[in-house]
Amino acid sequence: MAKYVIAHDLGTSGNKATLFNEEGMLVASRVASYQTVYAAGNRAEQDPSDWWKAITETTNALLQLVSPEEIAGVALSGQMMGCLCIDKKGNPLSPHLLYCDQRSQEEEAFLYEKMDPLHFYEITGHRISASYSIEKLMWIRKHMPEVFAKTYKMLNAKDYINFRLCGTIATDPSDASGTNAYDLNRWSWSEEIIEAAGLDISLFPEVRSSIDVIGEVTEEAAKATGLRKGTPVICGGGDGSCAGVGVGCVAPGTSYNYLGSSSWVALTVEKPVVDEQRRTMNWAHVVPGMLHPSGTMQTAGASYNWMVQQLCLFEQEEARIRKGNVYELIDEQIRKSPVGSNKLLFLPYLMGERSPRWNVNAKGAFIGLTVGHTHGDMLRSVMEGITLNLGLIVNIFRNHVPVENMTVIGGCAKNPIWQQMMADIYQTEIKIPNYLEEATSMGAAILAGIGAGLFKDFSVTDRFIHIDKKISPIPANVEKYKELIAVFDRTYEHLKDVYTDLSDLNL
pLDDT at residue number 435: 84
pLDDT at residue number 141: 98
DSSP summary character for residue 92: B
pLDDT over 80 at 1, yes or no: no
- Interacting residues of 460 by C-beta distance below 8 A, sequence separation 6+: 24, 446, 449, 450
**Residues 326-347, mean pLDDT to the nearest whole number:** 98
**Residues 473-500, mean pLDDT to the nearest whole number:** 98
Tell me the pLDDT band of 41, cut-offs 50, 70 and 90: confident
- Specify whether the CB–CB gap between 182 and 121 falls below 8 A: no
**Residues 19-37, mean pLDDT to the nearest whole number:** 95
Could you give the CA distance from residue 180 to residue 80 in angstroms, rounded to a whole number? Answer: 11
pLDDT at residue number 411: 87
Q: Is residue 200 classed as helix, strand or coil in its secondary structure?
A: coil
Tell me the pLDDT band of 245, cut-offs 50, 70 and 90: very high
Tell me the C-alpha to C-alpha distance, in Å, between residue 296 and each of 243, 393, 414: 14, 8, 20
Alpha carbons within 13 angstroms on the beta-carbon side of residue 275 total 24
Tell me the C-alpha to C-alpha distance, in Å, between residue 484 and each of 116, 217, 296, 419: 35, 55, 21, 18
Tell me the pLDDT band of 39, cut-offs 50, 70 and 90: confident
pLDDT over 80 at 175, yes or no: yes
Tell me the pLDDT band of 130, cut-offs 50, 70 and 90: very high
Tell me the pLDDT band of 286, cut-offs 50, 70 and 90: very high
pLDDT at residue number 385: 98
Domains and CATH numbers, the chain: 4-254 (3.30.420.40), 300-405+483-498 (3.30.420.40)
Burial 207-217 (b: 16+ CB within 10 A, else e): bbbbbbbbbbb
Kindly report the length of the chain: 507
Tell me the pLDDT band of 103, cut-offs 50, 70 and 90: very high
| Mean confidence (pLDDT) of the chain | 96
**Residues 5-13, mean pLDDT to the nearest whole number:** 95
> For residue 389, what are the β-bridge partners?
none
Instruction: Please give the single-letter amino acid code of residue 349.
Output: Y
- Interacting residues of 450 by C-beta distance below 8 A, sequence separation 6+: 211, 234, 456, 457, 458, 460
pLDDT over 80 at 392, yes or no: yes
Q: Are strands 206-207 and 170-171 parallel, antiparallel or unpaired?
A: parallel
Could you give the CA distance from residue 48 to residue 228 in angstroms, rounded to a whole number? Answer: 23
User: What is the share, in percent, of the chain residues with pLDDT greater than 70?
Assistant: 100
Instruction: Please give the single-letter amino acid code of residue 147.
Output: V
pLDDT over 80 at 133, yes or no: yes
- Specify whether the CB–CB gap between 355 and 345 falls below 8 A: no
- Specify whether the CB–CB gap between 213 and 232 falls below 8 A: yes
pLDDT over 80 at 190, yes or no: yes
Instruction: Give a three-class secondary structure readout of 237-295.
Output: EEHHHHHHHHCCCCCCCCEEEEECCCEEEEECECCCCCCCCCCCECCECCCCCCECCEE
pLDDT at residue number 151: 98
* Residue 310: count of CB within 10 angstroms of its CB: 8
Q: Which of 317, 307, 276 is nearest to 418 (CA)?
A: 307
Could you give the CA distance from residue 175 to residue 132 in angstroms, rounded to a whole number? Answer: 11
> Which has more pLDDT, 144 or 261?
144
pLDDT at residue number 350: 94
pLDDT at residue number 310: 97
**Residues 80-96, mean pLDDT to the nearest whole number:** 97
**Residues 241-266, mean pLDDT to the nearest whole number:** 94
pLDDT over 90 at 473, yes or no: yes
Tell me the chain's radius of gyration from C-alpha atoms.
23
pLDDT over 80 at 306, yes or no: yes
